[in-house]
Structure 1
């Protein structure tokens, strides 16, 4: 019997709650999506979380400083899907404008706009690009987790800056561990479309393309997510040598803070979208394994 797959997540920008709490909330958001969108109540799945905020911040966010906890979506039934996404919004227009700037920056190699964005808005990503020691530490945490589960079908879900780390690691592993494979890479709220990021990829790895060690790459972006300012990635990354292409979906990130204010970049909203749930359903532990109480070594299961 084939061993069950495993979901490995990596977080994005900014300081985070303690690792145990952040892990629990990611699992809860995934489980909520599986229950509501795929009718998989009490689904069990192996999950590992790559946490790196402690490499940049002395202390995790305290409970009284958390203004964006995981909160289940109200009501019942399936959550909003890409068919429910608004047709055009202000941030979408910004994305169209940025796309023109992006092409100019990429063609000239002069990235003044992106430099300002990275240094003042995406501070962690700016440090990741300029501090080699920090970059090595962050990458090593993901590499260790992928190596530990290389005999499993891996769903790697990378949020925000985590998608940049995941991409860099996959291109690195192409050279250093060519037998390691990832079944499905899912990038959510990704800044991989920024000209500065693509130029860094080209400087380190060559042409920006789909990594050769993945079988699928799905990119999810909410049209109002200012981090995923370019939205789609298919035009930015050429197919892998095997012809694998990026598949883009414009989704609805429904996350709202306790105050009611929306955050269309929040990881929890992406993790419970129908588009992600559809993929995650393929990594739920089969009933045959659960009936036999077969152990899933090294991984945690949803409650």
Structure 2
């Protein structure tokens, strides 16, 4: 059997599996890949019916609170962004603030951190994207002691990352991972590329770490795996899965799901990982198609696929 590509989609409901796979194929390779690619399609575990074919993905893997980020013609101040996303969206959705001083408002430590992250993203986005092969300072989402950080993370994902909450805290994780395991079983010992987006990157990471499946290339895009609060809830300490030969992690600095864009400092051995800073100009900077179509992501996948396919 020739090489196979397995996709793992992210948060939110999706179009039917065949169409979703075709969309990823065309974004990543510019053509339909037929039996070469497969989609680990776990959306039916969380949603009764797929999105209509003609309906764009309303979440595209992004949290509901970030669906309507302003475009270039309407830029809001970071303080307004924080108040809107963790103020109105959080409390009007019925969410409760964590106990203690961390109220989710723009003036508390979490709000200040998000404000600073927004400024940082805006500043860095002015420059060209660059490949980041070396370690750099981590950007921890919640600068709090571990027990408080975990409590705030649970509340945050419950009201903005609902599928992430179901995965980590709602008992959905094993069934979602089983979907990917079934796809891995279906391709047997074929040389493998795995591409995970958003929550899909977490699913792929945990399954590859557990199964130790030999994987020529692991690609994560818009991934929160570098965020300490996500690492707190992984089944095993962060490390490159034993069977993964090469890991490429791509993120846009404005992507609020990939709050920390560098995996390399936390996931050893570091020489197997390259963090790529790319431009994702979807409205929320998290959409899957711009990530897959990026030259660095597409080039890495095409090179490995061509090499494995042979002459």
Distance 2:43 2:119 in 1: 31
Consecutive unaligned residues of structure 1, counting only runs of 5 or more, are 33-40, 71-87, 175-179, 256-261, 289-303
1:157-202 per-position Cα deviation (integer Å, ceiling 9, x unaligned): 000000110111112113xxxxx3111110000011222321112x
TM (norm. structure 2) is 0.69
* Alignment root-mean-square deviation, CA: 3.1
Alignment CA distance shift 1:231-1:94 (3 Å): farther
Match of 2:247 among 217, 221, 242: 217
Residues 1:236 and 2:266 are matched in the alignment: yes
Distance 1:63 1:113 in 2: 37
1:271 alignment partner in structure 2: 292
Distance 2:143 2:5 in 1: 34
Q: Is the 8 A contact 2:140 2:228 kept in 1?
A: no
Distance 1:193 1:69 in 2: 21
2:28 alignment partner in structure 1: 30
1:193-249 per-position Cα deviation (integer Å, ceiling 9, x unaligned): 222321112xx32x211111111111000111111111111123232xxx6532101
Match runs of 1:123-272 below 5 Å: 123-132=162-171, 134-174=172-212, 180-201=213-234, 204-205=235-236, 207-239=237-269, 244-255=271-282, 262-272=283-293
TM (norm. structure 1) is 0.70
Point out which structure has higher relative CO (alpha carbons under 8 A, 6+ apart): 1
Residues 1:11 and 2:9 are matched in the alignment: yes
Distance 2:35 2:120 in 1: 35
SS in 1 for 2:196: strand
Consecutive unaligned residues of structure 2, counting only runs of 5 or more, are 61-116, 125-135
Distance 2:120 2:46 in 1: 29
SS in 2 for 1:111: helix
Q: Is the 8 A contact 2:15 2:51 kept in 1?
A: yes
